[in-house]
Structure 1
Amino acid sequence: MATTIAVDQPVTTLINIFTVRPERQAELVELLARATEEVMAGLPGFVSANIHASTDGVRVVNYAQWTDAAAFRAMLANPVAQPHLAAAAEIAESYEPHLYAVESVH
């Protein structure tokens, strides 16, 4: 399913901002894309994911949608997903995952 950003869309949005060394940005992008295709997309409650690489080379943003916060938390606890989460954390210098609700679209 494609990402739809709308105030009335019944989803929970994850925005995870990773800070990386420029020489590792492509590695993290590839890891997140592969993990999404191979694992996350098959988990209950997954809606979509979009991986963004900053043009300065030091950030990667994962904008993902889940049906609800419980589905997102279940993914975090899933033993198949955990190695991918750990690998991303190892590549990144830091990361800031937070759940959001869409409040306005223009």
Structure 2
Amino acid sequence: MGSAHAHRGFNQLVEFVVNPGQQSQLVTALIEQIERHTCTYPGFISASVEASDDGARVLEQILWKSRKTSEQAMLNAESGPQHFTAMLFQHGVKAVTFRTFQVAGNISPRV
């Protein structure tokens, strides 16, 4: 049986509003950034990039071991704020919403 409290963490959710014609390019750019940089930082657990059915939104979710490891990764990021801002303009991002959450629990499949 899965445990609701087996793993804790810190979750970053970033929602991008984008022109539908540019959604797939943004998805590709985010995945490349995560694979090239984000996943190499200590405390990184996992990430996902999700595309809305209407083509107007992209959701990036990054799970860290703790808030501290997330903050350290952001401070040491190889691709700084200028790179991130340039990526937003390049892919026609209209708005960005950044939210963080403490993971209260995870539920695994019952075996």
The TM-score range, normalised by the shorter chain, is 0.7 to 0.9
Paired residue total: 101
Distance 1:76 1:65 in 2: 13
Trace 1:61-100 onto structure 2 (pairs within 5 A). Answer: 61-82=59-80, 84-90=83-89, 91=91, 92-100=93-101
Q: Does 1:22 align with 2:20?
A: yes
TM-score (norm 1): 0.81
Q: Is the 8 A contact 1:35 1:84 kept in 2?
A: no
Q: Which aligned segments of 4 or more residues in structure 1 are displaced greater than 6 angstroms?
A: none
RMSD: 2.0
1:26 and 1:105 map into 2 onto residues whose CA distance is 29
Code of the residue aligned with 1:16 in structure 2: it is V
CA–CA distance in structure 2, aligned partners of residues 64 and 49 of structure 1: 4
- Tell whether the 8 Å contact from 1:75 to 1:81 is kept in structure 2 after alignment: no
Report the alpha carbon displacement of residue 8 of structure 1 after superposing the two structures with TM.
Answer: 4.5
Deviation larger for 34-43 or 73-82: 73-82
Distance of aligned partners of 1:53 and 1:26 in 2 relative to their CA distance in 1, 3 Å threshold: same
Query: How far off is 1:79 after superposition?
Result: 4.2
State the partner residue of 1:3. none
User: Using CA pairs below 8 Å that are at least 6 residues apart, which structure has the higher relative contact order?
Assistant: 2
Match of 2:42 in 1: 44
Counterpart Cα distance in 2 of 1:79 and 1:71: 12
Alignment partner, residue 33 of structure 1: 31
> What is the letter of the counterpart of residue 44 of structure 2?
F
CA distance 1:81–1:53, shift in 2 (3 Å): same
